[in-house]
């Protein structure tokens, strides 16, 4: 999944998050519906199941390299190229940022793969609600809330500050950093990723990273465009 540091605003952070979530409802619904359709097709449409089976076999053959390359491409390179070429976001995404996007999301691919493997070992690898629900709660409340979102907010703030730590470090040391910076992002993330990860966890483990990469590609673009509009307002 992708996040970006929230700009300063006189509005309460929770309200900023709710406003962002409301703007994400319609495009997020389209994105989640596509993921749900893919899951349904996997279990009920034989050609789709066969095609995804080949993807799963390739992912198992490549191992961790697949996870890093898939996220570097779909979470990093493709969204960067779109944002670099889009007039509304071109200035904030110069060519030199390509290395950042690719490297960060390659690392995230390995991290998320490790999370998915751990969850499968603990809760099992089944589309049953009793398996999917605890995975979603651990993913969104513990992993995302305590580690992934705070780290991404801090790393993206470092990028936005010209890869200098002075400003992000000062902001991190200011009161209520999590409340100001991470909470608005988390509320917006939950609007899309709570149902999104349920779809992902409903698939067998070898398909979870490939589908996550596809969903994340559109999510990074969507969220970056939304925050770009906020900065211009």
Question: Rounded mean pLDDT of 76-81?
Answer: 95
What are the structural domain ranges in the chain? 13-226
Range in 31-35, 86-90, 169-173, 176-180 the model is least confident about = 86-90
**Is residue 9 scored above 70 in pLDDT?**
no
**Is residue 1 scored above 60 in pLDDT?**
no
> What percentage of the chain carries pLDDT values higher than 70?
91
Query: Which comes out higher in pLDDT, residue 2 or 68?
Result: 68
Can you give the chain as a three-state secondary structure string? Answer: CCCCCCCCCCCCHHHHHHHHHHHHHHHHHHHHHHHHHHHHHHHHCHHHHHHHHHHHHHHHHHCHHHHHHHHHHHHHHHHHHHHHHCCCCCCCCCCCHHHHHHHHHHHHHHHHHHHHHHHHHHHCCCCCHHHHHHHHHHHHHHHHHHHHHHHHHHHHHHHHCCCCCHHHHHHHHCCCHHHHHHHHHHHHHHHHHHHHHHHHHCCCHHHHHHHHHHHHHHHHHHHHHHHHHHHHC
**Is residue 108 scored above 60 in pLDDT?**
yes
The pLDDT of residue 5 is: 43
User: What rounded mean pLDDT belongs to the chain?
Assistant: 89
Query: Which comes out higher in pLDDT, residue 230 or 218?
Result: 218
∠ at Cα 33 (27, 35), nearest 5°?
110
**Is residue 182 scored above 80 in pLDDT?**
yes
The pLDDT of residue 229 is: 55
pLDDT bracket for residue 6 (50, 70, 90): very low
Model confidence, pTM = 0.89
């Amino acid at each position: 999944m992708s996040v970006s540091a929230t700009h300063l605003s006189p509005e309460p952070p929770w309200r900023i998050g709710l406003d962002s979530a409301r703007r994400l409802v319609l495009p997020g619904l389209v994105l989640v519906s596509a993921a749900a359709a893919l899951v349904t097709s996997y279990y009920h449409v034989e050609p789709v199941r066969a095609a995804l089976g080949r993807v799963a076999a390739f992912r198992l053959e490549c191992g961790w390299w697949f996870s890093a390359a898939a996220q570097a491409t779909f979470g990093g390179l493709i969204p960067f190229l779109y944002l670099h070429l889009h007039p509304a976001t071109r200035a904030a995404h110069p060519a030199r940022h390509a290395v950042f996007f690719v490297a960060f999301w390659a690392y995230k691919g390995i991290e998320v793969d490790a999370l998915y493997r751990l969850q499968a070992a603990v809760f099992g690898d089944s589309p049953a609600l009793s398996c999917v629900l605890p995975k979603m709660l651990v993913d969104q409340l513990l992993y995302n809330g305590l580690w992934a979102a705070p780290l991404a907010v801090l790393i993206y703030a470092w990028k936005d500050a010209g890869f200098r730590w002075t400003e992000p470090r000062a902001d991190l040391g200011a009161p209520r950093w999590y409340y100001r910076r991470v909470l608005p992002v988390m509320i917006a993330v939950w609007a899309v990723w709570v149902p999104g990860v349920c779809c992902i966890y409903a698939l067998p483990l070898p398909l979870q990273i490939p589908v996550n990469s596809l969903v994340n590609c559109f999510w990074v673009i969507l969220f970056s465009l939304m925050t770009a509009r906020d900065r211009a307002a």
